[in-house]
């Protein structure tokens, strides 16, 4: 798309020092479980001391079922996430609240919570109800909010998020607020918007990985966030997980997974490529989002727009009505 032109606004990355603060985190059984991720669980912590109403927090804790070596890895990621998150402040990035030790001795990261669900949850709910693609206007809103958050991470904080996908986007209410979360595997970007530190490795999540992250000698830049950003828009248009196809949808209520329907070779061959869209389900109102998805999922990272460029184009479109 010609409208997408490169744009850079570079700033120095700050390095905060995060230590435990005096906050009492209840034991896990006394908090409502909100969800989970790799090696962690997320809980709702309600705070109403002395009868005063306070905003609740989302608390991330290491899953106690992990073995000791796994816990060490996930604890380091949580430490890294706390350090990074404390230094971030943007309306489209989940806010830091505290990093402290729980009663059981584990370290916990407390974040803002406003009654959110993950975008992944909403996609699954919409799929279960067979409602079809999200409205084009809703996808546009998510795209602009995510792009603003990524522009802030890339340009202002010199950080690659490193794991963009629908489950790492939280939604408040009827898309009143849209925020990127889970910065635990973020990577520092140099002045060329490249991950140049040889000790830093892109982790990501397999179905959303760009081609360069699947290659041993791939150069990781800020554009490694743009590919999964495009796939997140695809998720909203298809209500599916990228590259995971289990054959035709069954007609009855029993939609249990049939391992035999999964083509493993086709899946691995498809990773890092642009998945197809069912154009019969998308009318002309989706064209702008289809174009954005297409340019963002180019296998060549140099052909993908920057987050700043996406924001510029979408804001111009918004201004034009």
The CATH number for 224's domain is 1.10.510.10
* The most confident of 6-15, 66-75, 95-104, by mean pLDDT: 95-104
What is the pTM (predicted TM-score) of this model?
0.83
Residue ranges making up the domain that contains 57: 31-112
User: How many structural domains does the chain have?
Assistant: 2
pLDDT at res. 50? 52
Is 133 within the bounds of a domain? yes
Q: 53 and 173 in one domain? A: no
Is 49 within the bounds of a domain? yes
Q: Burial code of 195-221, b = ≥16 C-beta within 10 A, e = fewer?
A: beeeebebebbebbbbbbbeeeebebb
Q: 179 and 292 in one domain? A: yes
Q: 184 and 57 in one domain? A: no
pLDDT band at 104 (very low <50, low <70, confident <90, very high): confident
pLDDT at res. 116? 73
64: exposed, middle or buried (C-beta count within 10 Å: 0-12, 13-18, 19+)? Answer: exposed
Q: 290 and 196 in one domain? A: yes
Is 179 within the bounds of a domain? yes
Here the CATH number for the domain that contains residue 96 is 3.30.200.20
Distance between terminal CA atoms of the chain?
20
Q: Is 28 a residue whose pLDDT tops 70?
A: no
Torsion of CA 56, 58, 61, 64, to 10 degrees: 80
Q: Express each pLDDT in 202-230 by its tens digit.
A: 999 999 999 999 998 999 999 999 999 99
pLDDT at res. 14? 37
Domain C-terminal end among 95, 112, 129: 112
Q: 137 and 108 in one domain? A: no
Q: 293 and 149 in one domain? A: yes
pLDDT band at 24 (very low <50, low <70, confident <90, very high): low
pLDDT at res. 16? 40
pLDDT band at 40 (very low <50, low <70, confident <90, very high): confident
> Which position has the token pair 């795209």?
143
Q: 159 and 99 in one domain? A: no
295: exposed, middle or buried (C-beta count within 10 Å: 0-12, 13-18, 19+)? Answer: buried
Q: 186 and 65 in one domain? A: no
pLDDT at res. 103? 75
Q: 128 and 98 in one domain? A: no
Domain C-terminal end among 112, 135, 152: 112
Q: Burial code of 67-104, b = ≥16 C-beta within 10 A, e = fewer?
A: eeeebeebbebbeebbbbbbbbebebbbbbbbbbebee
Where is pLDDT greater, at 166 or 69?
166
Domain C-terminal end among 71, 95, 112: 112
Q: Express each pLDDT in 106-127 by its tens digit.
A: 788 999 886 678 999 999 999 9
Q: Express each pLDDT in 235-272 by its tens digit.
A: 999 999 999 875 444 444 445 555 566 788 999 999 99
Q: 38 and 132 in one domain? A: no
pLDDT at res. 248? 46
Torsion of CA 224, 229, 230, 236, to 10 degrees: 150
Q: 238 and 156 in one domain? A: yes
Is 14 within the bounds of a domain? no
Q: 308 and 161 in one domain? A: yes
Contact 110, 23 (CB under 8 A): yes
Where is pLDDT greater, at 23 or 58?
58
Catalytic residue IDs: 163
Q: Is 146 a residue whose pLDDT tops 80?
A: yes
Q: Express each pLDDT in 272-295 by its tens digit.
A: 999 999 999 999 999 999 999 999
pLDDT at res. 204? 95
């Amino acid at each position: 798309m010609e409208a997408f032109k490169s744009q850079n606004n570079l700033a120095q990355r700050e390095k905060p020092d995060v230590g435990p603060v005096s906050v009492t985190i209840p034991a896990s059984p006394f908090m409502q479980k909100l969800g989970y991720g790799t090696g962690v669980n997320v809980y709702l912590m309600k705070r109403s001391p002395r009868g005063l109403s306070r905003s609740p927090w989302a608390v991330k804790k290491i899953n106690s079922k992990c073995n000791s070596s796994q816990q060490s890895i996930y604890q380091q990621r949580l430490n890294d996430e706390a350090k990074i998150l404390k230094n971030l402040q943007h309306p489209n990035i989940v806010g830091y609240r505290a990093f402290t030790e729980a009663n059981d001795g584990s370290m916990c990261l407390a974040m803002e919570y406003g009654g959110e669900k993950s975008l992944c949850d909403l996609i699954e709910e919409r799929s279960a109800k067979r409602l079809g693609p999200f409205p084009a206007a809703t996808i546009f809103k998510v795209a602009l909010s995510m792009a603003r958050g990524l522009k802030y991470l890339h340009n202002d904080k010199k950080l690659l998020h490193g794991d963009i996908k629908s489950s790492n986007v939280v939604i408040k209410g009827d898309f009143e607020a849209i925020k990127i979360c889970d910065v635990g595997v973020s990577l520092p970007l140099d002045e060329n918007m490249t991950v140049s530190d040889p000790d830093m490795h892109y982790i990501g999540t397999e179905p959303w990985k760009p081609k360069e992250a699947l290659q041993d000698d791939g150069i990781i830049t800020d554009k490694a966030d743009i590919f999964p950003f495009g796939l997140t828009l695809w998720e909203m248009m298809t209500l599916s997980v990228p590259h995971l196809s289990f054959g035709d949808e069954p007609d009855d209520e029993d939609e249990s997974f049939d391992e035999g329907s999964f083509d493993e070779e086709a899946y691995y061959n498809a990773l890092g490529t642009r998945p197809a869209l069912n154009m019969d389900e998308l009318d002309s109102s989706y064209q702008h989002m289809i174009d954005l998805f297409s340019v963002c999922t180019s296998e060549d990272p140099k052909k993908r727009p920057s987050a700043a460029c996406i924001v510029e184009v979408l804001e111009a479109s918004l201004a034009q009505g």
